[in-house]
Each structure stands twice: as C-alpha cells, then as structure tokens.
Amino acid sequence: MNRIPRAESGFVLPTAIFLLVVLAALATYMVSLSRTSHISSALDIQGARGYQAARAGIEWAAWQVVDPQNLQPDPDPCPASPTTLTLTATLAGFAVSVSCTRTLETDGADTVAIYQITSTATSGVAGEVDYVERQIQASFSK
C-alpha cells in the first residue's frame, strides 16, 4: 500500500524544538533570579550585622569617655585613634575601627568637652561581592 505524503508532516518537530528552547530559557532565567535573590538577602543580613558592629564600636568608645568607675579623671578620655576592636559571637568577622576627637568649647563661664566618635565596621575584601562597610558617627558633650 502506497502512502500519500501529507503537507503537515514534520511540522511538530520545529514546534517541539521551539518550545524546548523557550522552556530552557525560562528555567535559566528563574535560576538566575533565584540566585540573585539569595545573594541580595545574604548581603542585607550582612549589612544589618555591619551596622550592629559599628554601633558596638560607638558604644565602646562612649563608655571609655563617660566611664563612671574612672576614679582618676583623665583630662582626655578619648581612646587612642584609631582603635581596632575584635568582636566575637555573631559579629565575628567584622573589623571595627573607632576614632575619637575631643574639642573644648566655652559656654559662658563653663568649658565643655565635645567628643566626636566615628566607628567603621568592615567585612570582606573591597571590590568583592561580599564586601560590607557601615560607618556611624556620634557626638556628645561632657
């Protein structure tokens, strides 16, 4: 028995190849989107940890200045600038650099010491994807 060739024969193969290519492109896009989302989330957490590390540096320097247990008042209680702190536990991995400057101002008959504290927390290598840096400044008078 002789078969009569049909005009539609072979049309399914190009359609199937097109659908496979489109589905592969969509899958690649979804994997890329998922990876970007995970990296962004991890960097967001690292940024929050960096903020807390910088804040710990501010609190440490402020305590050095206003330490109520200091029985012999130091004329300049600012810690040496810059001071590098080593943090432990959840903030381990961050290098915290703290600097403090003291300025004397006259307020009527009183002399007021103004302290400017800058704390910078860093993690990772500059220029890399996982690099995080947070800086906080605080000033107060005593």
**pLDDT tens digit string along 82-97?**
888 888 888 888 999 9
Arithmetic mean of pLDDT, 37-58: 93
Q: What confidence score (pLDDT) does residue 1 get?
A: 62
Break the chain into its structural domains and give their ranges: 12-69+76-141
Arithmetic mean of pLDDT, 24-53: 93
Pairing of strands 132-141, 83-86: unpaired
pLDDT digits (tens, 9 = 90+) for 112-138: 889 999 999 999 998 888 899 999 999
pTM summary value: 0.73
